């Protein structure tokens, strides 16, 4: 069976470290499509909430490690696989975060990342 894909955009305002919330509509985050601006090649971590207006918290694997994409760079297409994909799978409402929970990195200018989502 072929999975259908669609795109949502995670937008970061200038001087922030987290995007606005994304409703994945219970689809799987399959890839990230980076734009032309990303501060300091910061790693990208993920936040989740039980519903869109709850407090967003760091998504961890069952080993207690933050779900992370470490090779973030501008103008790249990045597949989400392995433990990061597994950690994101149960969450409908997510945010993207620049840096780790203990050391967030503020994006100096407004930027956005396209999320490619897939559903059966």
pLDDT confidence band for 100 (50 / 70 / 90): very high
The domain of 27 spans 4-119
CATH classification of the domain holding 8: 2.60.120
Question: Burial level of 117, CB count in 10 A (0-12/13-18/19+)?
Answer: buried
**The two structure tokens encoding residue 56:** 């967003």
Q: How many structural domains compose the chain? A: 1
- Say what the pTM is: 0.93
Which band of pLDDT confidence, cut at 50, 70 and 90, is reported for residue 1? Answer: low
């Amino acid at each position: 069976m072929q999975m259908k894909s669609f795109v949502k955009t995670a937008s970061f305002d200038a001087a922030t470290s987290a995007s606005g919330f994304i409703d994945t509509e219970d689809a799987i985050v399959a890839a990230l499509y980076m734009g032309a601006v990303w501060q300091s090649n910061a790693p990208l971590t993920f936040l989740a909430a039980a519903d869109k207006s709850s407090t967003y918290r760091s998504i961890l694997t069952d080993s207690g490690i933050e779900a992370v994409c470490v090779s973030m760079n501008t103008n790249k297409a990045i597949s989400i696989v392995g433990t990061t994909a597994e950690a994101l799978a149960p969450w409908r409402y997510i945010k993207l975060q620049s840096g780790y929970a203990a050391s967030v990195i503020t994006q100096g200018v407004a930027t956005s990342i396209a999320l490619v989502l897939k559903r059966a």
